[in-house]
Structure 1
Amino acid sequence: MELTLEIVVLPVSDVDRSKAFYTRLGFRLDADFTTERGLRVVQVTPPGKGTASIIFGENLTDAAPGSVRGLHLVTPDLEAARAELVTGGAEVSEVWHDADGIFHWAGSRNRLPGANAQHDSYSSYVSFDDPDGNEWIIQQIVDRLPGR
């Protein structure tokens, strides 16, 4: 079987505000259409190769706006990605790592300030929320594990 994650649906309260937010952050606007019956779909894609898109709009999901937690984006340069997100208007955390050194706990539990001391891939993060509170985490990966 071959499967690819293509789209993640985000619940938002204000479609135009979300569209402006994500495009300011450098997400590519792929589509914005509305049907005669009131279905609106906005699709944006984060910068980078081989990344899934997100869609939001009207009548797409029954989930509460801001209820999505732990969406992950990956970058080889965490400081540069953080700077670009801040320039785009996102309120981005300072760099942090998990005290256990293995992924991270939910919420802000077990977080320590600064990058992982060994600067290992998969171990340092920044985070931000979109205007509705959907949570994004940016993870630094320079060297991928075998098979990835």
Structure 2
Amino acid sequence: MDMKLELVMVPVTDVDRAKEFYEKVGFVADHDQTVSDDVRFVQLTPPGSACSIAIGRGLTRMEPGSLDNMQMVIADADATHADLVARGIEVSDVDELAWGRFVFFADPDGNGWALQQLPDWSQGAGGEGYDAG
């Protein structure tokens, strides 16, 4: 049985501000539909991802800013860091950990994101005790 995660709700206070932010990060706006006065659905997809996020009105009971540590995998932490800085996104320095190289940022409401460059386990990069096999 397959189960594919395809949509994650991200709670925000200002839909237009959040949409603009995520587009600045590089997400593509797939849908922006006002269903009623109480419901607006905006779907955005990170480049190369099979999973999208949804922001809007009337979509979730989570408090804006309560989503912490959503994680995406990236190929190159240094290049991603430089690209996001060039786009005007406030990001952390590249954080070197045993399980990867990370760049962190938050949306205007404080929803937290971690971008992980996976370690090269074949080179033993921080993978002591890790069995990839």
TM bin (shorter chain)? 0.7 to 0.9
Letter in 1 for 2:73: V
Name the residue aligned to 2:126. Answer: none
Which position in structure 2 is the counterpart of 1:118?
A: none
The answer on whether the counterparts of 2:41 and 2:54 sit within 8 Å (CA) in structure 1 is yes
**Which amino acid in 2 is paired with 1:18?**
A
Superposition deviation, residue 124 in structure 1: 1.1
Deviation at 1:139, TM superposition (A): 0.3
Q: Secondary structure at the match of 2:80?
A: helix
Partner of 1:16: 16
Could you say if the C-alpha distance between residues 144 and 44 of structure 1 is closer, same or farther in structure 2, counting changes exceeding 3 Å? farther
Check 1:142–1:39 CA distance in 2 against 1; reply closer, same or farther (3 A cut): same
Equivalent residues of 2:100, 2:119 under 8 A apart? no
Q: Does 1:81 align with 2:80?
A: yes
TM-score between the two structures when normalised by the length of structure 1: 0.77
Counterpart contact for 1:90–1:130, Cα < 8 Å: no
| Runs (4+) off by over 3 Å | 142-147
- Contact residue 10 and residue 56 of structure 1 kept, 8 A: yes
- In 2: Cα distance, 1:37 partner to 1:13 partner: 15
Pick closer, same or farther for the CA change 1:144–1:30 going to 2, 3 Å.
farther
Name the structure where helix makes up a greater proportion of residues. Answer: 2
Deviation at 1:30, TM superposition (A): 0.2
CA RMSD of aligned residues (A): 1.9
Please tell me whether the aligned partners of residues 33 and 41 of structure 1 are also in contact (alpha carbons under 8 angstroms): yes
Q: Contact 1:43/1:54 (CA < 8 Å) preserved in 2? A: yes
Tell me which residue corresponds to 1:91. Answer: 90
Task: Give the total of aligned pairs.
Answer: 124
Residue equivalent to 1:131? 108
How many Å separate the matches in 1 of 2:119 and 2:100? Answer: 10
Gaps of 5+ in 1: 102-121
What TM-score comes out, normalization by structure 2 length?
Answer: 0.85
